[in-house]
A and B are shown apart, each in its own frame.
Chain A
Amino acid sequence: MTDNHRTTYIPANLLPVVVPPDSYDDFRSKSTPLIIDNGSTNIRFGFSTASSPHSNLNVVAKYKERKYNKPLLLFGDAIDAESGAKGQARTPWEGDVLLNFDALENALDYVFIRLGIDTSSVEHPILMTERLSSSLHSRALTSELMFEQYSVPSVTYCVDSLMSFYQNNKPGSSERFTSDGLVVSFNTASTSVVPVVEGRGIMSHAKRIPWGTQQSTDYLLKLIQLKYPSFPTRVTSTQTNWMLRNLCEFATDYPALLRSMKNPLHLRESEYIVQFPFAIPIVEEKTEEELTRIAEKRKEQGKKLQEIAAKNRMEKLVQKENDLQYLNNLKEGRSDNKREWINTLQSEGFEDEGALDDIIKKLELDLKRARKKEADGDDSVEEPSFSLIEVPDVELDEEGLKEKKKQKLMKAGFEARARARREKEKEREEKEADEKRDEEERERDIGKWSGKLRQEQEAIMNRIKDRNRRKAALSDRKSAAAQARMKSIATLAADDRVPKKKRKTGAEDMFGADDEDWAIYRKINTAAASSDEEDDINQLQTIELKLLAHDPTFTTEHTHASIASQRSALISAFRPRYEEGDIEGNTRIHLNTERWRVCEAYFSPGMAGVDSAGVGEVIQNVLARFSNSDKARLVKNVFVTGSPSKLPGLIPKLHATLRPILPPEMPLEIIRAVDPEIDAWKGMAAFANTEEFERVGVTKAEYEEWGGETIRRWWGGNWNSSM
C-alpha cells in the first residue's frame, strides 16, 4: 500500500525470443527421469537433475500465416509473435480436466524438442502431474499417448500440490516422508484442500472449490466492464490478469474494510489508477490567414448569389414589361368588331375583356412594386383607398358591390395589422419600463433585490420538483395520484354523468358549459409535455442570469442546472468523471473496491454467483472429519501453494478465518511455499531422485496388461477405483 495514487500503465507485450533447443548430450543413454509439471496455465519441464525447469505457457496454436501462406505451429508465448494465431490458441486443459489431446500431443512434442531429444523413443521415465482426482478418461488417454506414441519406459502420476508440500517439508536423505499438514493449493481454475497425515495424502477427504485465477480474472473483467460501459478500448483477459496479479489483494477483515470505505475520501485514497494507451486525435488548427481566406471566400460566394438573384429579377421584370406591352397593344389594336375581338381574346387564353383588364392591372402593380423596391428598398405602407365603403349599398351596382366588399375586407385587414403593430410596441415599452424599474431597485438596495429574485428562483425550482414528483407518482400504478386519475377517467367515460338527485329534477349533463371543466383533460393526459414546464424553465434561466450577473454571492453552483446534475461525493469518488475531450482521462480505469472484492470471492464465491463454499468453510469441513488429535497435527502445518497464493494478504486472512473455528489452545501455523510456482516441479525432481520413485510408476508392460487407467496407489498420487 505504499503506492497510493500511483498511476500504473498496462505493460506492452514483449516479443518472444527464439530459443535453441537444449543439448541432449548430458542425458543420452542415461535414464534420468523427465519431470513434467503439466499445469493449466504454465507447463514446466526439465530433467530431474536440473535445478530449475523450463517454463512456458501451456497453449498451442496451429495457424496458417496470411502473408506467405505457411502453416505454423506455435507454442506458449511464441503465440504473441503472430497476432492472428491468438484466435487459434488451444490449451489441453479445460479448467481441471485434460480434454484436448491434440493440443497435449503438440505440447509434449515441444517439450521433447526443446530438451533436444533425438532418439527414436523417449527413453526416460516420466513423472507427470495431474489434477486432484482427475478423470479416468484424461488419464487413460495421457497414458496412451505416453506409451504408444513416445514409447516411454514408465510413467508416474502425482498431484502437484503434494509435491510442493514435499519440497518444503523434505525429510532427510534416507528417511521416509512422514510430515503432516493441510495443503491448500491455489490453481488456475480451482482451489483445493488436501489433508496429509503421516506423509500420505488422504485423497478421500480432499475438497476442490471451483474458483481459481481464471474465474477471478473473469469476475474482475466483468466488474470493470460494468463500471466503464463506454470505455474506448477493449480490455483483454491478459491485461485483466496482469491487473489481478499486481493490484489486487486480500482484505483481512472485509466488512470492516467496507465500512471504512464508505467515506469518499478514503475511497479515493485507496484507489489505483490504470492508464491505458490512448491516441490523441490530430486537430488541424487553421491559422489566422486561412481563417480569413475562408471567410472571404464565403462572402464572395454570397455576393455572387445575390448578383444572380438580381439578374433573375431583372429578367423577370423585363419579361413582365414585354407582356404588358403586348397586352396593351392587343387591347388598343382591337377591332370594333366585337366577335373578332372575343375570338382574339380567347385565342390568347382570356375569357373576356374583364379578365384581360385584370391581368393588365396586376402586371402594372407588380412592375410598380418591383421598381419601387429597387429604388428605395423600403416597403412603405400605403393606405389603399376605401372610397366605396361610405357609399350605401343602394347606390351601387353589382360591380360596385363587389368592389365594396373587397374594400371592406382590405380595410379590416389593414386595421388589424395596424393594431397588432401598436400592441407590440406597447409590450416593448412595458418590458423596458420593467427592466428599468428592476435596475433602479437593484441599485437602490441590492440585498433586497437579490433576496426577492432568489425567492422567485426557489419557488420555480420547487414547482419543477413537484411536477417531477407528480409525474413519477403517476407512473407508479398503485400511487394515490394514479388511482385518482383512473377515477376521473372512469367518471368521464361513464354513461350516466348526472348525479342521482339532479336527475330527479330532470337536469342534463352540463359538462362543458363551464370552461373550467375542460381542465380535467389536462390532468388525465400524462404524456403531454406541459408547456408550463418550458415557461418555468425559461423564467428560471432569466432570473439566474440576472443573479449571476449582479449578485456576487450567487454562483453557478446555486443554479438549478448544477443542483439537478449534482452527483454525490461517493459516486464521484467511486468513478471519477472526466470531460468529454479529455482523452487521457477517459482511458483510465480507477480500481478501488474491486481490488479487494475480487479476492474476497475466494472466501465466499457466492458473491460472484458461484454456489460453493469458500476456502474458510471448506477447510472447516475437511478438518471436521478428523479427530481432534489429527486436527492438531494438521493445523500446525498449514501449507499454501500455487501462484495465486502470491497475492498479498492471504496468510493473515487465512489466519483470521481459521483461528476462530479452532480451539484456542491449538497452535495454528500457516506457511507459504518458498517459490509457489516452481516448488511443485522441484519437489517432483527431488522425489524422482529417490529410490521410491522406481517403485510407484507404471511400466510399459503393466500398461499393456492393465490399460491406461490403472495406476499404483501411493502417497503422492490420486486414488480411484482403478488400482
Chain B
Amino acid sequence: MAPKGGSKKKPSLADDTAHSPTLPEQLSYLHTPRPFKNPAYTKNLNRRTKNLKTVLAQERDRERLERDRRRHQRHHLPMDVDAETTKIDPDHDIPTYSSIEAPPSLLPQRHYCDITGLEAPYTDPATALRFHDKSVYELIKALSSSAAKDYLSARGVNPIVK
C-alpha cells in the first residue's frame, strides 16, 4: 500500500522522463554547468539585498567621515601644495552618488491642466485641481473625491487626509 502522498507524485514522475522539455525548460539555464565558477567561494553575507535607502544613507555617512578626515589632514599638513593637485578644490569636488543629484528647479513652474494637459489659468478651490476652461470645470465638479486625489497625485501633490 503506497502512502497517500506517494500516489500523487507517481504520475508526474512517470511523465518526467517521458515528456519533451517545454520551451521554458529549454530556456532555463539552472542546470547548465558552470565550470568557471569558483566552488570554494562562500557567499558574503553582506551581499544580501539591502534597501536602497540604507545603502544611500551608508554612503552619505562614509562620505562625511572621509571629508572630515581629509579636511583634518589638510589643516595639519604643511602648506606647500603638491604639483599634482589640480586647480579644482579637492574638498568639494569628489562626486558621490548623492552629490551629483540635480538641484530643485529655480524656474517658475507653468500651470498645466490636470485633466487635459493644456494651459491652466484657473484652480478649483474645492479640490485644488487646475483646469483649462469651464467645460473642464463641469467635469471636475462631477468627479468623486478619490478620483480628484488621483489627479493630484499625478502632479505630485499628495493631500494628507485628517
Chain A: residues with CB nearer than 8 A to chain B?
Answer: 15-16, 18, 62, 65, 67-75, 78, 81-82, 85, 94-97, 99-102, 109-110, 112-113, 117-122, 132-138, 141, 144, 148-151, 192, 203-210, 219, 222-223, 225-226, 229, 255, 258-259, 261-262, 567-568, 570-571, 574, 593-594, 597, 604-614, 617-618, 621, 718-721
Contact = CB atoms under 8 A, between A and B. Distances in A.
A149 B15 contact: no
A144 B92 CA distance: 29
- Listed from nearest, the 9 A-B pairs whose CB atoms lie closest are A609-B156, A568-B135, A204-B93, A593-B117, A73-B30, A78-B27, A82-B24, A72-B28, A613-B105
B116 A72 contact: no
A122 B119 contact: no
Given A72-B24, A96-B97, 11 more contacts: A15-B23, A73-B29, A78-B24, A81-B27, A136-B62, A204-B93, A261-B118, A262-B118, A593-B116, A597-B117, A604-B105
Contacts of A137: 50, 55, 58-59
A94 B59 CA distance: 16
Contacts of A135: 55-56, 59, 96-97
B122 interface: no
Contacts of B97: 96-97, 133-135
Residue of A62, A225, A609 contacting most chain B CB atoms (<10 Å): A609
A223 B150 CA distance: 10
B51 to A, nearest CB: 8
Nearest to A595: B117
Contacts of A75: 27, 29
A223 B154 CA distance: 7
Contacts of A609: 153-157
B101 interface: yes
Contacts of A141: 44, 46-47
8 contacts: A72-B24, A81-B24, A100-B49, A101-B47, A210-B102, A607-B112, A608-B156, A719-B94
Task: Identify whether the interface residues of B are mostly helix, strand, loop, or mixed.
Answer: loop
B95 A203 contact: yes
A151 B38 contact: yes
A549 B26 CA distance: 72
Given A18-B23, A226-B154, A71 B96 contact: no
A207 B102 contact: yes
B106 interface: yes
Nearest to B59: A135
B41 A149 contact: yes
A150 B135 contact: no
A610 B105 CA distance: 10
Contact of B116 (A94, A206, A574, A613): A574
Given A82-B24, A597-B112, A132 B36 contact: no
Given A149-B38, A203-B95, A612 B104 contact: yes
A118 B49 contact: no
Nearest to B40: A148
Given A65-B24, A68-B15, A208-B100, A118 B106 contact: no
A109 B88 contact: no
